[in-house]
Structure 1
């Protein structure tokens, strides 16, 4: 498929890029520093600014799907930047007539008990709250979207480099935990789950999650 990955040089984006290229997809990587990406015959790297919606439309046009690994971690106003960015990405995807948008979400909006999200628990780390709140708002925005075919993949609580096993569970709005009570997924297996969704859509206009 001919796809776009926004933020393809980032923490999650780099894993998505590796998985997509390994499966033979033709990828346009939209990043802040294209020179950081290794050359690949199936890769075109372009510099982008997600807040420049008009330019983003041009960069997205002609693709079959957009995967957004956009993050506001490095910004001073993380929440506002994240929300502005996701709105721009949604608008540009629709304007460019790209049929699908897949979004890297956070675990914080998953429920740990009926009606209680991880973000709202006392144990949630303060340093990640703005980013997590931005990701939650992105999901809220997508849930009001009536025209775009979107999917939002939340990882487990711990998303760390590890093995590509291809063996994991998928869920809905509840945090997944393993037999030992740990909620985790490797970056590599998260990428497998996302590219699986790209290739065989099963969560249209839904949030889903992945974990061991």
Structure 2
């Protein structure tokens, strides 16, 4: 038993496809957003974490939104559970999360940032790309969200999504003056307490993100 990185080799001429990974009982273990790869036979690997029980079992892939091809899936090594008390695995919120410290992604790349503080940002974001972050929220409530983003064109947008796929906030990304000229964008999100996954989804790409 453990949490496995599962890679899906997918192709689609348009974004919007969605695959659910379900257990033998029908429980949803993960949701895979299928990005636009350029064509029906232009493949890209999208990886997501999936918690699996030990032993023989059946996994079901359910198409929640079609329009994609699948060549193969690959299950990587497990992160074995530690013995005894375990500290929360998610990044603590309220708090600052570096964009490059994602737990799963589709399409983005890390690069050196010119923003204050140095380090890395995520970039090369196309329509339909996404990044997932495991977080631990101290208490339920409405939070102020700051996103440190850059864009030369001002046509991009970022959706903040919950573990269930619900959209919590949509943040337009304005023209900031260049790929490495950053501005802090603000929104509000309502979050439950505890461990959860937040997804930053790009309905429209063309932006970099340093932190949130």
Structure 1 or 2, whichever has the larger Rg, is 2
Higher strand proportion, which one?
Answer: 2
> Is TM more than 0.5 here?
no
Which protein has the bigger helix share?
1
What TM-score, normalized by structure 2, do the two folds share?
Answer: 0.30
Q: TM-score, normalised by structure 1?
A: 0.30
